[in-house]
Structure 1
């Protein structure tokens, strides 16, 4: 990767890619937080049907990321990114009008596969144009995404008060506009897979070291995902009908911390540690995020205090956990793509990232299934203790891999 100064055309591409990440997260969270309520209350679907529709989206995005990455390498990142954004626009548009399970499943699968197409492509383009500045630019990439995650639900809340169909159509419009901008402005970069690598996904799958690295890093996706799975369950037990407001505060805290501190955290870590050590440190911080909930698995709202003060005191274990997860993400996000590029030796980068994403998706699905089994245990601390152990175990795995043979050789 080049370390030459970034040209004006490179700067314009970087701005476009960061804007794309903001728009993707904004458009996604404009709709997704309100989809389950629409399916349940608006369409009257059963819980199993809602679970199927939502699960299909996540499974298709994560499970097909290897396919999306290979297509980006095979036909070029621009084609994959533009096609993915157009497909998500169509999927969200279908969600606005679909009222039968088959159509809803189709729309959900389309939105998921869309992410599998554009995510590896966007990341690969940014990694390529960034050169040796990858850690800095992927830190900004995280900030752009977090800004979208912060503003999207707020805009969706306003529109959802009017009509869910309006929410879906506006989200579809965001991706439609983004598709047109990318079609015009993204450079027509040639496919990155040399002729001998056209079936390169097989070579990537045979790279045992990369597979082990992907497995070791899977905890960096499973642990933050709990803010959507188990943390809301505790929030519901603690706050009851005020759960949505509590979760809103958690999401806002995570986003604001990332926007305010990502640059400082990245710079501080880069001066002290190598990228693999930053990844291991981030996993340890993510593990520590679940210590407060392991110690206080059933927060209780004190009845002797003012109601609002009491609720925030009861939320402290969850707020502390969300803050530490945000810090862990700040340590990991800027450096993981740097390690992936180096392990891939700059070849088939999108395919490597696709495999990395697919492994994390499968691990997250399995982890959530096991979490559900532990959740039924009478030992309320068990899931949180397991998350602490998982984060520490993943950190040890990354450290041992790097010690055996450096993940980022000089």
Structure 2
């Protein structure tokens, strides 16, 4: 933690405020979202497909609007979009706790998602601009605070939801309200450049090296998302009980967060000192791929039977390795986007990158679910892990070829 604190103090006020903002954003978001589905289906009695609709609308309104949010940030400046996003999420979270009709819930869900599309690209672009040549270190620090928020948020939410989910929503809204006021008062204005104001988002769509890199990285997002999809399902299966599943999933997220918080700054410093950026990306994706080799091996050795005392160990180890891979690659990935954008329309590039990865995650989840169904039908529990290893191997190879042909730098 000393290295992290020293790194934090080495940046100026805007960068320090942006990473603390991200911690606060994640605390508020994760104190509410993990418990929303249970509130919709339990307290409000919505049918399963309606719960899926409300949650899906939130995801679509965020992933589908990242490009617009990024373009607006480049046009009007980063601070106004950060403030607008925090304000909109304040209203969306408050509304989720105050309404029970389906139309109002959909409006609240849309507001919550679109808010993320407004501030996410702006925050990353502002941090990249403010950090300058220290972008890699800045995004390493950003990931520490990001993961810390994911660790703290559900714990706060668990305590509040035990009293009343509506209280959770109102507290989360209050956190975002406080964050909005803090941005207005303390975050310096970062003016958009004249080139960004007049440039069209079509310019970003014509940036072929950036688009190729975005496509090559889709596989890494499919892998990283499994900590929210396949790994929790696997943990619930092998623990063999509802309580064991809940504790196991909690341990899964806790290990991921603690590994990132404890090791991110040191790992990034070592990578930057010893490896070129492209090699760091390849190494990171390779590590993420190897996480599923752990689970594949456990399945082939029969260590994943429900109720087995060692069945949970491979899943927890895989989560740690998956997080380590993300830690290695993430800061260099964010830096590569800025490089390929040539420091022009950075927020729009981040917005489009998030949209592309979001589409990839959706398609990847559908295919992962299909692999899981097939595995159950044919009695081959190792099949999803093998499929994810192939996805990771393809992604690793694609990024390696881009690096070797010097296509991870602007032409």
- Is the CA contact (8 Å cut-off) linking 1:276 and 1:408 kept in structure 2? no
- Find the counterpart in structure 2 of residue 283 from structure 1: 285
Higher mean Cα deviation, 169-178 or 229-238? 229-238
Does 2:298 correspond to 1:296? yes
Aligned-partner Cα distance in 1 for 2:383–2:219: 17
Structure 1 counterpart of 2:3: none
In the alignment, the residues of structure 2 paired with residue 173 and residue 193 of structure 1 have an alpha-carbon distance, to the nearest angstrom, of 36
Please state how far the C-alpha of 1:193 moved relative to its aligned partner. 5.3
Specify the SS of the correspondent of 1:289. helix
CA deviation vs aligned residue, 1:242-263 (integer Å, no higher than 9, x gap): 2111111010101111111011
2: distance between equivalents of 1:177 and 1:84?
A: 13
CA 1:93/1:296 → structure 2, altered by over 3 Å: closer, same or farther? same
**Structure 2 match to 1:166:** 167
Would the aligned equivalents of 1:293 and 1:318 in 2 still touch at CA under 8 Å?
yes
CA change 1:49–1:192 in 2 (3 A) is: farther
- Residue 302 of structure 1 deviates from its aligned partner by 5.3
Match of 1:218 in 2: 218
Helix, strand or coil at the partner of 2:227: coil
| 1:409, distance to aligned residue in structure 2 (A) | 6.4
Aligned-residue Cα RMSD (Å) equals 1.9
Hey, what does 1:351 align to over in structure 2?
A: 348
Match of 2:189 in 1: 188
Match of 1:256 in 2: 258
95-104 vs 155-164, which moves further: 95-104
Asked whether the 8 Å contact 1:217–1:394 carries over to 2, the reply is yes
Asked if the contact 1:275–1:408 (Cα under 8 Å) also holds between the matched residues in 2, the reply is no
Q: Is the 8 A contact 1:10 1:129 kept in 2?
A: no
Matches of 1:164 and 1:79 in 2, distance apart?
A: 31
- Partner residue of 2:400? 399
Tell me which residue corresponds to 2:362: 365
Q: CA deviation at 1:146?
A: 0.8
Unaligned runs of 5+ in 1: 1-5, 304-309
C-alpha displacement at 1:293, in angstroms?
2.0
Deviation at 1:200, TM superposition (A): 2.2
How big is the shift at 1:220?
2.3
Question: What is the match of residue 4 of structure 2?
Answer: none
Give the number of equivalent residue pairs. 395
Question: Do the aligned partners of 2:213 and 2:408 also contact (CA within 8 Å) in 1?
Answer: no
What's the TM-score once normalised by structure 1's chain length? 0.92
| Alpha-carbon distance between aligned partners in 1 of 2:328 and 2:193, rounded to the nearest angstrom | 29
Indicate conservation of the 8 Å contact 1:287/1:387, yes or no: yes
Does the C-alpha gap of structure 1 residues 193 and 32 become closer, same or farther in structure 2, counting only changes over 3 Å?
farther
- 1:120 CA displacement: 0.7
